[in-house]
Amino acid sequence: MKKTCLLFVLGLCIVTVAYFLLIRRYIPEIHPLPSVGLAVLGGASALALFGAISNLIQGLSDKIVLARAAKSSPLSDGKRAAAIGRIDSSGLATITAPFSGRDCLAYEYEVYELIVMRSGRSPSTTSKKLHCSGFGLIPSRIRTNQGEIRILGFPLIDEFPKDFTESPEDRARAEAFIAQTKFHNIKKNFGSIFSEFDDLFRDADGAVQKDLGEPVTIQERHRLTEIIVPRGSDVCAIGVYSRRDNALIAKTAALPIRLIPGNAAEAERRLRKTGFAQIAIALIFFLAINGVFAFLYHSFQKRLYDIPESEHWAIILKSADARDFEKLEMLFKNGVNPDATDSQSRTLLQTTRDNEVARLLLRFGANPNVEDPATLETPVFEAARTGDLQRIMVLIDGGANVNAGSPLPWKHTPIDEAIRTGQSEAIQILLKAGATDPRVTAANGRPIAPYGGEELAVCRQYLRAIQKQDKTTLKSLTTARYEYFFDDIDFHVWKAAYPITIETFEGYTIDTAATVQFRGKRADGRDSEWIYQLEKQPDGWKIHQTWPLTGEGFEILWR
């Protein structure tokens, strides 16, 4: 088996290198790193097709072997042969399936779970995480027209029905089995995988028990499958005949014995169906991958600048990723749109993290105030939020509006985001560029009353309303920007983030606005510090904006 695996890896490397050289020769515009990925896919598709064709040829050969066995032709030592008849144990040994508890001659089981993976806005993918698997076989023989023929080595039994263990009794039986079974963890000793499977498929006495992987406590998310070969089943076994052992054996672990339920006609039908299904899947994979290569080849044969608007994004992204500024300039000078968008309607200025690329885009007319389709924020919002000082200055130099407002989830500005995340240097840069600071400070206001006055009283009412889950009061204490905000809030989260009482405070006020900064204890006893921005309205002070200053409050509300 090790030799077969090494040959497969060597073949994959050779075909992958061939694909890579072809890609670099005929589609040189593709970056070398993606070229490697495409070459690996190409090599895998070619080998998958080759393997499917080989299996189909093997299936046709096995069909001939089955026909000979059906005619009771003599078996030749060392040649591939078939045994057709009823299978039973060779002696008094018994074995039961570990999950269902059924009496059988052979079994195969798996315990796994399906892991759903999500990445941003991309579609979710599901992968199989295998915890443990096992194989069991007692010495068995098949009564054929040529006499009794033994089975030496665990056969492939994938053509038998696969049962999904669902009942509580079976799952309890499975848990008990796993608890008392010693497993061989091949992950910790990967080199042993070859010897384990070689021993499995080429066993010399016909008795096999292999339990591989790691024990696991059965839970609802786990899936349990089991395949068994019942006693007295009509089967067709295909392998290499050993006259000395009067048995079918596996000449190599890469070509084990195959056990198929039913008579010769049923076995031929299953082999034909499996072979053509494998060919169809491999051919679709091969044509899809190579169709992509053909499409890329014809696409890149077009003149560099003779490209439709829909392809502008991809070509400038490629040059930007390579930091090929000279090519980017040539593209923009020849009519490529610097505001070309991707499939999510975002421009390169919104997605790139390279400030030099951003500077070049702005120099050639990219819109610095383009809104994100999801958040309706302009690029300066993210820069202010994360404290990316260089990006802020690049955007300001390119004409970014530092007072741009986004209505989601309320009308806020870049400086609001910088205040909310504690980016003091970003705040100063935005102020120098003309941003309006909503806060009232000692420089432009007067201190609130020593006891807090009406301004602090509103803050206290707001905190009490949160703890009481009083949406009506919350709405009455806030400005119109919060009109619909409280309809679907999670009070459990809010009560954990906001302080219960105010212990210390500082604030400044003018006739129309006030800023109050206070600290208090949350329900868990930890400090929580906030800034509340208030507006004076005809019916009193209203809360217009809140910013958590301690990291815990921010993390609870926005995680």
Tens of pLDDT, residues 76-86:
999 999 999 99
Q: How far is it, in rounded angstroms, from Cα 173 to Cα 170?
A: 5
Instruction: Compute, in degrees rounded to 10, the torsion defined by CA atoms 31, 346, 435, 357.
Output: 20
Tell whether the model's pLDDT for residue 153 goes beyond 90.
no
| 99 and 227 Cβ atoms separated by less than 8 Å | no
Query: Residue 492, Cα to own-chain centre: how many angstroms?
Result: 30
Using pLDDT thresholds of 50, 70 and 90, give the confidence band for residue 240.
very high
In this prediction, residue 191 carries a pLDDT of: 60
pLDDT classification of 190: cutoffs 50, 70, 90: low
Bridge partners of residue 515, in order along the sequence: 508, 533
Whether domain 446-558 has CATH 3.10.450.50: the reply is yes
* Interval 402-408 mean pLDDT: 83
Place of tokens 């010769």: 264
Mean pLDDT (whole number) for 14-31: 78
Check residue 310 and report its DSSP letter.
G
**Residue 133's closest CA among 151, 107, 158?**
107
Calculate what percentage of the chain has a pLDDT beyond 70.
91
Contact 373, 342 (CB under 8 A): no
Average pLDDT across the chain, whole number: 85
Q: In the predicted model, is pLDDT for residue 559 greater than 50? A: no
Inter-residue contact 536 to 552 (CB < 8 Å): no
Q: What are 293's strand-pairing partners?
A: none
pLDDT recorded at residue 331: 81
Kindly state the average pLDDT of the residues 356-379.
91
DSSP characters for 360-401? HHHHTT--TTPPPTTT---HHHHHHHHT-HHHHHHHHHTT--
Q: Which fold has domain 309-432?
A: 1.25.40
pLDDT bin (cut points 50, 70, 90) of residue 5 is low
- Residues with Cβ within 8 Å of 508's Cβ and at least 6 positions away in sequence, in order, are 440, 441, 442, 444, 445, 446, 447, 448, 514, 515
pLDDT of 306 above 80: no
Q: Determine the pLDDT at residue 432.
A: 93
Q: Cα separations (Å) of 229 from 26, 131, 136, 390, 435?
A: 53, 23, 10, 69, 76
